[in-house]
Amino acid sequence: MILVTGATGNIGSALLRELHEAGAAPVRALTRDAGRAAFPEGIEAVEGDLAQADSLKAALEGVRSLFLLSGMGAEAEVLAAARQAGVEHVVLVSSITVQTHPHLPAAGENLAVERLLKDSGMAWTVLRPTQFASNTLWWAQSIREQGVVRAPYADIGLPAIHPADIAAVARAALTEPGHHGQTYALTGPERITVRRQVAAIAAASGREVACIEISREEAHRQLAPLLGDETADAVLDLLGGDVNEELLKVRDTVPRVTGSAARSFRQWASEQGAAFR
């Protein structure tokens, strides 16, 4: 039995499709609210909260492989519960910031979870993806209502990744040999600037979208009330304020692990056009 956490999210929903199509059996999908979730036929929905490990008893029963998102708050207890339930292998979604920006608090937290997993006695595979293409859904409301994106660092290109490629690597790690004890840094196939992302979304949604570069200070004024000062600063550093070669680097991990080329941002936008109309 494979348990997929974050099953209603960007990676998890793509991973369920991958596992369903590959005929990998059996698969269970975790959500906090099964009433709101719709999963492919044959996939068992189960309720549980990753912030409360004792809510995961039913979800973990009989599970041998676990796909786990980091950052939900109770990783130490969740990993202990998984070990106790007989889980043999965990595929963990961490973040590339562990190696590009280890001084940031969120990166330190991800590294701590990676270490907990490596010390857990279970086999492990760690995925360290870069910025997701799906983060641009943050712009959807402004695009739909005003036909505009206001963003800082509009001409800095980062190798954004299609979440389905993270799922494809996870599927390989969960179902094929050779991935235990591996740490995979994952990126898209090319660096793409905010300006080019906006142009791709405009083309995919069939509408004109202006891209207006704003200052870091203005972006911080918008983000800080939502994220807090420190996280807003960290996000802005990662978007362009403090990038480094390690963050900018395009990696071949996705094609190496999956045997297929990494999907472009343009492809992601073409699949999501409706969200921006």
- Give the interface with ligand NAP as residue ranges (CB under 6 A): 5-12, 31-33, 37, 49-51, 69-72, 93, 95, 129, 131-132, 135, 163
- Closest CB to ligand NAP among residues 118, 207: 118
- Closest CB to ligand NAP among residues 71, 147: 71
CB of 206 to ligand NAP, least distance (A): 25
Residue nearest to ligand NAP (CB): 9
Give the Cα separation of 200 and 206 in Å (integer). Answer: 10
- Closest CB to ligand NAP among residues 183, 207: 183
Amino acid residing at 25? A
CB of 181 to ligand NAP, least distance (A): 21
- Closest CB to ligand NAP among residues 32, 207: 32
CB of 167 to ligand NAP, least distance (A): 8
Give the Cα separation of 11 and 186 in Å (integer). Answer: 13
Do residues 113 and 70 touch, judged by C-beta distance below 8 A?
Answer: yes
Do residues 127 and 160 touch, judged by C-beta distance below 8 A?
Answer: no
Give the Cα separation of 165 and 129 in Å (integer). Answer: 10
CB of 248 to ligand NAP, least distance (A): 15
- Closest CB to ligand NAP among residues 33, 146: 33
CB of 44 to ligand NAP, least distance (A): 14
- Give the CA diameter of the chain: 54
Q: Strand runs (DSSP E) across the chain, as ranges?
A: 2-4, 27-31, 44-47, 65-69, 89-93, 123-129, 148-151, 157-158, 182-186, 192-193, 210-213
